Structure formats: C-alpha cells, structure tokens
Structure 1
Amino acid sequence: MTVPIRVLVCDDQLLIRSALVTIIDAQPDMEVAGECGDGRAAVDLAAQVRPDVVVMDIRMPVLDGIGATRLLAGAGVPNPVKVLVVTTFNLDEYVYEALRAGASGFLLKDAPPAQLLHGIRTVGMGAALLDPDVTRQLVGKYAARIRPTDSTPRDVPLTPRELEVLRLIANGLSNSEIAATLVISPETVKTFVSRILAKLNLRDRVQAVVYAYRQGLVT
C-alpha cells in the first residue's frame, strides 16, 4: 500500500482551513498531519509532524506565508519542506515573493478541489506546480526586477535545443504546449526539462523561469 502524502494546512480563516482539511482527509493517498492559523505555528508544527507538503496561505497574522515559506523551504534550510501556496490574491507581489522564498507551487483558492489535490500530489512527488497562465503573468509583471541591467544573454551550459525548451518554459508553456510547439513527444520534453534542471542546478520550473530572465534569455 502506498504511503499517504502527509499534509499540513495553514490558513488563518477557519472556514477555509476546515474545508481544505476535509477535502484532503477524504483522499485515500493523503492524510492531514496538522492544521494551524499562522505562519509561525506552521513552522513550529512542521518541525513536530514533518509533513510532506505544507498548504500555505500568504496573508496571515504573527508570521505571513512568505516568512514561513522562507523558514520551511528557503535556501540553506536543512531538510526543507515542500510548500504549496494557496491564496485568494492572484499574482500580487506576495505570490512572487513566496515563490522566491522557496515555494514549490501556487494555486488560487477558487481552483476546483481536483486541481488542489493534483497540486498537492505534484508537489509531494517533488515537482513544481505553476499554472502556465500564472507564469506568463508573473514574469510579465516582475521580469524587469529580475532581468539583468544589460540585455546581453549570458553563457549558459545548455545545448541549442535545451535553450529552446528553457525559453519556452520561461514564457509559461506547459510540457504539452512545448511538445506541440517543437513537434516532439511530452516524454521527450520531460527529459529535456530534467536535463536543464540538472545542468543548471535548479530545483524546479519556477527557478528555471527566474534563471532564464536573470540570464537575459527571454525579454
């Protein structure tokens, strides 16, 4: 029997938190490891229950979701915990900062339950989850902040085809969209993505998007 994904739910709104707990606990491959209403409690509780995924709100008292994500999944954190940001605030600076802080994914609270559960499973398996439309809007809004001051592309240790795939990732295309654009199979795209992340020592697609803009590979 597959070991269930242990999920910690952190949201300061009791009604929303209860709904998330109910949906997650009803899944045969998931279990709620704990729940809390602020970021500080999430950090403390995660140290006790060691969840596989933390479903994290952003705007909360005591410690917001950005600060909590940084403590749970930020650079240099020993035994980092995967964080899935779920918020009502679409594409504001808080979301961008949460992703920079180490979040592995982002969903809106009005997403269907099936999409939320898919997100938890995706993040739990070690992949990143960032909706392609969300990616396009995020990089469009914040690209100037992460783009180098000069527009000359940097030397990147990738093949021409890998560079092509990286640029498409940075433009917000999903694996299936990349496959259709390049007329290759989705499995081949997955292979390219894995190679890109490994060569550049990146954790996930979110970091790949930021990397591409920082290196001046997309405009």
Structure 2
Amino acid sequence: MTPRNNGTATGNGTLMGGSVTGDDGLARPPWAAVDPLMREYYDTEWGVPVRDEQGLYERISLEAFQSGLSWATILRKRPAFRAAFADFHPDMVAAFTEADVDRLLQDTGIVRNRLKIRAAITNAQSTIALREDGGLVDFVWGFQPAATPQPLTFADVPTQSPESIALAKALRSRGFAFVGPTTMFALMEAIGMIDTHLVDSHRRGSSGVWPRA
C-alpha cells in the first residue's frame, strides 16, 4: 500500500510534496525516505508484480488489516501475521474455526480485530472458490487499467480509480470482505498493477509492467 500521510521527512533532499533524495543519492517519496523498514520495503517490494495466489491473498489480507492504521505498523507485524495465519496459505486459513478466531484475538503480535480476522478467513474461502473461475490472480489482474498515473508529487497520487471501484465491487460479489475501492487501489499500487512511483523516483518503471515515462 501507499501510506496516506504527508509527514515531514528529513534527508539530503527537499520535501515539497515531491521526492526526497537520500544519503545514497536515490530519490524516494517522503513516506519511504526516513524509516529504514519502509525504505527497504519501497526499494525491494512495493510495486513489484505479485502473480501467485498465496502472495496475492496475503497482500489482500494485510491491506485489510491496515485499514485505519499505518502501513509501518502492519509491516512490523508481518512476521507475526505470517506465523498466525499459516504463511497465508488459503487452504489452511479457510479451515480456521471460531476457536482459531478466539486464539488469534489473544495474539499480541497481530492486529486483534475480530471483524478483520474473520474477513481473512472468509477471503481465504472466497479465494478457493475462485479457482473454479480462473483463480484469484487472473481475476484481480483482469482489472489492470490501460494507463497508469504519472505523479510528480505525492499530492498527485489518487486514492482510488474507476478500476479499483470495479475491482472492489467484483470481489465483494465473490464474497470478499474489507475490499473497498481505496484499499483495492492501494493493492493495485503494491502489486504493480499501476505505477504510482513519483516520476523522478529511482523506482519508477521498475515493475516491468509500465514504462518509466
């Protein structure tokens, strides 16, 4: 996802809503310019295409848990999430029972929200059901737009799109929960379906899905 805040960043560059040049000489958006964990995530994961079922289900699950919280919080808790949710294997999570929900509500390493925990289980079941209709990956990537944003500043990055609205509606019709248009836009950014790296970022065009320009 893309953190939706414009907090002050420090570095060798200027903020001004655009990229910040780090001490390594590379330009990144403000949200990835300070925290080492967020910087590593930005440099190695964010915007890299995800085209496997398990990976995509994990991203959808973590985006749901992030709702109302910061992505940094989720990223720090990701190892605990993976341990709690069987590495996000859909078949294993789909078999979770109410006893598992109660167990997870006692796990201080994750976000202890009953509705979000149940949504992860429901979404695992819905992921399995989609296998009869081409699978989760083809379903989600079928909403890839014909063009991608070209933001010069953080303020230029939208929070949803016609495609994310349509994807959210389609997933809800297949039984998925916590998949609103803004959450799905963040998913699309995170898995490389769109490229919202700022135009002068060193990561612009790195997905291989979209050209740099």
TM-score above 0.5, yes or no: no
By relative contact order (CA 8 Å, sep 6+), the higher-ranking structure is 2
Quick check: which one's strand share is greater?
1
**What interval of TM-score do these two structures reach, taking the shorter chain for normalisation?**
under 0.3
Using the size of structure 1 for normalisation, the TM-score is: 0.26
